[in-house]
Structure 1
Amino acid sequence: MSGLKPFIAKIATRQPLTRQEASDAFEILMSGEASMAQVGGFLMGLRVRGETVDEIAGAVSIMRQKMVPVDAPDDAIDIVGTGGDGTNTYNISTLAALIVAGAGVPVAKHGNRALSSKSGTADALSQLGVKLDIEPDMISRCIREAGIGFMFAQLHHPAMRHVGPARVELGARTIFNIVGPLSSPARVKKQLFGVYSPEWLIPGAEALRDLGLTSAWVVHGSGLDEITTTGPSQVAELKDGEIRSFELTPDDFGVETVSLDAIRGGDGAVNAAALRDVLGGAKTPYRDVALCNAAASLIVAGKAKDVTEGMHLASQSLDTGSAARALETLITISNSAAQG
């Protein structure tokens, strides 16, 4: 059994894989037909040479074939980042997702426990009382009734067990940091996608276009895989098949520029407490940065025409208690599902 050998040999000569070759390679990799040495060599070969849009699209196609799907409305959005930026901020996309849900846009939130940070979305949500291990039909119910459902990546991508040990032992970012967030079990058509490096802005938008998304912002904020309030944020916008790039500053959102320490979080318990504070009305730097990401998401969703309207709708979601109610409903439904 040659496994990944022919693909590793091609990558070693710095040649890109075609989309079909990438699909074939990831089929082998995610079916458990390659040794851990081959998996590690293949992933690091791609990383060192630089992953291409075709390789990403080929990998995502196999992830989608093997995932456990979730039904979601056509207008649902995912708000997700690659992770791996090393900044240990609060759970910004998690709070932004609740704000967007409170503003009336259905959110199919895809995420995992922390790998390189102290707290991933799953860590914070479980601390808040959300049950993670529920069936796909109950996640769909959460989206319908709470406005938001959480898809715990490790439950929806069981084939990842074949690559998990190698990823942990490598201890470095791999193509899966990009592929994972692109492999929504709900097959959303709209996405706010944060990337750990600006080099992924345009390739990320191209990959989303190839995967059939209709509206997306790929964002990077001064070292963060989010829109930031610590400095300028770069955006690659996908809309109607066209990609354009621009920059946004905290001033564009009407918020203060802050230091990174102002939005640095802690473990799941610390971040969950900070999130509850904001839902309860606290005016903090965490609120501001989450509002910025929610505003961007509302533009992607077609709910807001610009940043000003997006910030208004996002603020309204918090101030009226809509975002807090979305969380409470999510907690109630997910727990009833887990018990039922």
Structure 2
Amino acid sequence: MTSDTPQHAIRTAIEKIATGPHLSKPLTRDEAREAFAAILSGHATPAQIGVFLIALRMKRETDDEFLGLLDALISETNPITVAVESLAILADPFDGFARSMPASPFLPAVLAACGLPTLAIGLPRLGPKYGVTHAQILSAAEIPVARTPQEAAAAVEHCGWSYCDQHQYAPRIAALVPLRNEIVKRTALNTLETLAKPLLGKRETHHLSGYVHSPYARLYALLARAAGFTSAAITKGVEGGFLPPLNKTSVVVRMPTEGDTTESIDPGALAIQHAVRAPEWPRAMPDPTDSPDWQRDAAHYAAQTGIAALQGAPGPTADALVYGAAIALWHTGKAGSLAEGAARARSVLRNGAAWDRWVAGKN
């Protein structure tokens, strides 16, 4: 059943979901879609938006509610088909990384060198974590982070990879960031925004992401299928990112055309052995809570470390790139096994092909 007006849709939704633990009722998929569409079209007040998002979280979102919100989110993007057969979209948490130094901003260049064109998506800064983001690290490394979807498509066709910011491909969703930061707690949008598809491959488009809490693995697979991805590889990664820990076995949930599978992944089987779970910040780096300049300093340090890895320097960052590339190449069929994917990633790091793709991404 559809509402007569957007204002009616958001009011009706709030009345259903914000009436306490015993009387609140779930929204249908259509009701959730209409309510979120009302928000995105400017027909809800900031107070209504905050109540809507927090009430959903407090009662726990249902699958239908997530799917309805996703339907509205998808309608905000106008995907551009890129002149490549296959495309991977890398969607790490939009609120970034704080406890470990991310290597993933450099993964698209490695995958491009291995024959898998890749687009990374994200936001420059988002709470509640306020970790260092892809956009901040790429900007510190002098990679363009304000490309339009058309410009990102051209970059993918030129060098095999790019970054595209939510402000460019879904500006009405990005406009909610200040309010989301005031809400403090994570909402359904933290999950849903990683399912955006600003670009499409001609034949197939793959989703690469991660999770922390086990129930979200099933949810991400459900949403990736509903969003129309050809497949998804969703790892139990460091801080919810795509790259798994370097020091212990993890899992990857694979969403093919039909059915989902959960596979165990062992870094030791790929000759990756570290005592740390991920690249670490230097000890001199101030605590994020103690320094307002932490994100800037962290972005510059991560950029320097990632560039060194692309230029052939060994260490945890290089191994994290090898590990992530192995999973992505194996999952998308670009490599016959994890071992083959790891060997190809090591090769492009050694022979300079990944670095060449990185440099080409500056133009």
Match of 2:352 among 309, 313, 321: 321
1:91-102, aligned counterparts within 5 Å?
91-102=102-113
Rg larger for = 2
Deviation of 1:258 (Å): 2.6
TM-score, normalised via structure 2 length: 0.85
1:87-166, aligned counterparts within 5 Å?
87-115=98-126, 116-166=129-179
Deviation of 1:126 (Å): 1.1
TM-score, normalised via structure 1 length: 0.90
- Further displaced range: 235-244 or 77-86: 77-86
- The 1-side partners of 2:68 and 2:200 are apart by 16
Aligned to 1:210: 226
Aligned to 1:252: 269
Q: Is the 8 A contact 2:97 2:133 kept in 1?
A: no
Q: 1:222 to 1:137 in 2, by over 3 A?
A: closer
Aligned to 2:71: 61
- Further displaced range: 267-276 or 85-94: 85-94
Q: 1:66 to 1:305 in 2, by over 3 A?
A: same
Q: Is the 8 A contact 2:90 2:209 kept in 1?
A: yes
1:213-224, aligned counterparts within 5 Å?
213-221=229-237, 223-224=239-240
Deviation of 1:195 (Å): 2.1
Aligned to 2:251: 234
1:303-318, aligned counterparts within 5 Å?
303-318=334-349
Q: Is the 8 A contact 1:222 1:233 kept in 2?
A: no
- The 2-side partners of 1:154 and 1:306 are apart by 37
What amino acid is aligned across from residue 212 of structure 1 in structure 2? G
Aligned to 2:290: none
Deviation of 1:240 (Å): 2.6
- The 2-side partners of 1:161 and 1:82 are apart by 15
**Count of residues in correspondence between the two structures:** 332
- Further displaced range: 3-12 or 122-131: 3-12
Q: Is the 8 A contact 1:85 1:196 kept in 2?
A: no
Aligned to 2:293: none
What amino acid is aligned across from residue 229 of structure 1 in structure 2? L
Aligned to 2:193: 180
- 1:21-50 Cα shifts (integer Å, max 9, x gaps): 111011011111111111111111122222
What are the ranges of 5 or more consecutive residues in structure 2 without an aligned counterpart? Answer: 1-6, 283-296
Aligned to 1:292: 323
SS in 2 for 1:43: helix
Deviation of 1:264 (Å): 4.2
Q: Is the 8 A contact 1:294 1:314 kept in 2?
A: yes
SS in 1 for 2:361: helix
- The 2-side partners of 1:309 and 1:15 are apart by 50
- 1:230-259 Cα shifts (integer Å, max 9, x gaps): 333222111131101132232233211432
What are the ranges of 5 or more consecutive residues in structure 1 without an aligned counterpart? Answer: 333-340
Q: Is the 8 A contact 1:250 1:257 kept in 2?
A: no
What amino acid is aligned across from residue 326 of structure 2 in structure 1? A
- 1:281-325 Cα shifts (integer Å, max 9, x gaps): 111111112211111111232101221111111111211111111
Match of 1:192 among 208, 227, 248: 208
CA RMSD of aligned residues (A): 2.1
Q: 1:212 to 1:69 in 2, by over 3 A?
A: closer
SS in 2 for 1:39: helix
SS in 1 for 2:314: coil
Q: Is the 8 A contact 2:234 2:253 kept in 1?
A: yes
SS in 2 for 1:318: helix
Match of 1:75 among 82, 86, 111: 86
- The 2-side partners of 1:284 and 1:218 are apart by 24
> 4+ runs of 1 displaced by more than 6 Å?
none
- Further displaced range: 5-14 or 200-209: 5-14
Aligned to 2:286: none
Deviation of 1:327 (Å): 1.1
- 1:52-91 Cα shifts (integer Å, max 9, x gaps): 3332232222222222533323410012223558644223
- The 2-side partners of 1:261 and 1:209 are apart by 29
- 1:158-181 Cα shifts (integer Å, max 9, x gaps): 112442222010122111111111
Q: What percentage of aligned pairs have identical amino acids?
A: 23
Q: Is the 8 A contact 1:263 1:286 kept in 2?
A: no
Q: 1:5 to 1:145 in 2, by over 3 A?
A: same
Deviation of 1:260 (Å): 4.2
What amino acid is aligned across from residue 57 of structure 1 in structure 2? L
Q: 1:113 to 1:222 in 2, by over 3 A?
A: closer
Match of 2:33 among 20, 23, 26: 23
SS in 1 for 2:264: strand
